[in-house]
Amino acid sequence: MTNAAVPVPVPVGGAPVVGTPAPAPAAPAPAPAAPAAPAGDDLSALSDTQLADLAGRITAAQANRPPSLAQALTALQQNLSGAHTEKQEAVGARKEATTAADEARANADKLEKSITDMSRQLRRTQLMEAATAANFSNPAVVADHLANVDGEIAKLVTDLAGSGAFAMKTPAPSAAIGGQGSQPVVEMDPGMAALVAEINAAHGR
């Protein structure tokens, strides 16, 4: 018996594959490791002699600066010093302004209190004057009573006198307007005589 060949299907667009599978794709190569730091970068490994030599080179470089660099550094140093001075002046001026403002505010408050006190004293004095003229027995008590009452002084004192709330002295009989003994003069105007009678009635006379 003759062995017949087994037909193998032909892939589209290529040659027939004879029994051997395609190899798997290769794995990506690992990323290269970071380069190690040069041994010379570690200053801790320098000896005292090497450190002294390094400091000497820096000092020599500073002493032998090019004129342009030396001028630039000098200008920067001067500007820095000037900025520090201006800052100190600004801070001092701000402190002085704050102190002056505080003093001005305190002085204004003091003056305001003085004005208030003097205004109260003036009004009380005027009230005592009016109460004395109205013949109250104790003008100071009347003044204290009316000290915080708003209004025209003469009207306040007159209204208080008409109320009979405070004792009043008896006027001298010769007074044009006074106690029970006072009478309108014959020549007095009828309107004035009526006013005198009204005031006497208000005082209970």
With respect to residue 59, please indicate whether it lies within any of the assigned structural domains: no
Spatial neighbors of 203 by CB under 8 A, at least 6 apart, are 161, 162, 164, 168
Helix (H) or strand (E) holding 201: helix 190-202
What predicted TM-score, i.e. pTM, was given to this entire model?
A: 0.41
Calpha distance 169→142 (Å, rounded): 13
What is the token pair recorded at 123?
């009004």
Q: Decide if pLDDT at 189 tops 50.
A: yes
For the chain, report the end-to-end CA distance as a whole number of angstroms: 170
d(CA 120, CA 127): 10
Tens digits of residue pLDDT in 149-160: 998 988 888 888
Residues 158-173: pLDDT tens digits?
888 888 888 888 654 4
CA distance 117 to 147: 12
Q: How confident is the model at residue 141 (pLDDT cuts 50, 70, 90)?
A: very high
Residue 176 or 6, more confident: 6
Provide the pLDDT confidence category of residue 1 given band limits of 50, 70 and 90: very low
Residue 63: what pLDDT?
83
Average pLDDT over residues 183-194: 56
Domain count along the chain: 1
**φ, ψ (nearest 5 deg) of residue 67:** -55, -40
The more confident residue out of 10 and 62 is 62
Residue 109 lies in a domain: yes
Strand partners, 136: 168
For 136, which DSSP code?
A: B
| Domain extent at residue 102 | 68-169
* Mean local confidence (pLDDT), 99-127: 86
pLDDT tens sequence across 65-82: 888 888 888 888 889 888
Exposed/middle/buried for residue 15 (C-beta within 10 Å: 0-12, 13-18, 19+) = exposed
Q: Is residue 86 part of a domain?
A: yes
Q: Which two tokens stand for residue 7?
A: 């037909």
What is the rounded CA–CA span in Å between residue 19 and residue 35?
47
Does 99 map to a domain? Answer: yes
In a domain? residue 111: yes
- The reply to whether 13 falls in a domain is no
Q: pLDDT tens for residues 24-48?
A: 566 665 655 555 545 555 666 778 8
Residue 96 in domain: yes
Q: Record the tokens describing residue 1, joined without a space.
A: 């018996």
53 belongs to a structural domain: no
